[in-house]
Chain A
């Protein structure tokens, strides 16, 4: 099992944002986390990636305990993530953004940089190559020289994915990858995510758009008020009365 989430809980003061949630992500799967607004989906991601410390429970990644590791260490172990509000290095070029994704694999120090050692040169070339590969993967290579903050919104979302892919991670966490894009672009993004899965990436995504999730995920975890209320294939989950009550039902009334 690639990722094991066990009884993970996060309290913010009196509010229990994530309440005793457990699930597994097997390698090669697309796992979706769904639930109504405020269900604790993004908080759950923030716990897995180490952005917040958890109140209790445990996280195991490749059979190592990552529960109390800082975010950058978890990233180096192979968990890449995107943020809900597209998060980029806005003032840097698209290429520099993607290079930062691969950056963790380079070990050259300040002295390597100052002395232009073979290691520094090799790692810079390697990083550049990995960055172009990732940009190509995300279909935005022609934008490489542009400043990230100046490219269209949809391309920015692709760049966020390119940064994650450039890291060559074992698990990618996508936090609402299609929030705020048109339905046509949603289809293209779904194709990109499927492409990632075909390339062997294990993906865990938080998503609001049911249509995207149903056609994409191997299995789904449903959260409601921070608790897991269902887990299963898209078919099983959409037939589950508790889910219909909490999520689909609510959506029909809305």
Chain B
């Protein structure tokens, strides 16, 4: 018994202290995947905030955006033109979803809208494979002028290896989040969006077009999906299996609170770092591979204390 307690309570920290450089590496890896989780979660939050739709299709939008990019490039379009066209594709998707799915389903219960986005997921899987084929593709990292090298940083008697693409991912994610933040804070559309998030009817009554706002947030979520797709595609490759990884954004989402942009970022980092540390220092005790569910348990633990997530709006219930 004492031995088990030692393994759980003491040994992991001894390990951390023994190999500080390795611990730093773990933190960095957790940070990078946390950023990527946060990006996916950000797409969810934007849409949930503005329209109350729990957009399950965010994961497949990531795949679809990345596939379109690589597909266009493979068809002979120059990389940056392909990127621009991809933005147009996401715009078309946003308009299509708003017109064909959201508008007819306005005022339906949440679960119906949720199911509609799962239907959308199936549709996009079929469409993506139909157009681009099912084979995994290699992300055009260097064509997009993204760095691919790596740096070893000697510290504390060891090395920490940084991938340039990971650093780029962190920078791009930071820029994207800041830009979105500024956009929603300081522009007319941004203010309209926040008005819609607060109260649909009040927003309507002051002349804000709900449909327009929805199309804009879906477009913004599409841009975020494109960025995520490029980053994650560069880390592994672009295939439909990525969609499963995107499920990781769900615990991030509930941990941060469904309606909070900072929540998505903080939640992403907590989950990213937490699950890495958990897997590496505690996971091997029970056979490893616990990353699949650890994130959900971390989120669950937080939820039991704060049922609305870290930054979510307080749930007030009245009879």
Do chains A and B interact in one complex? no
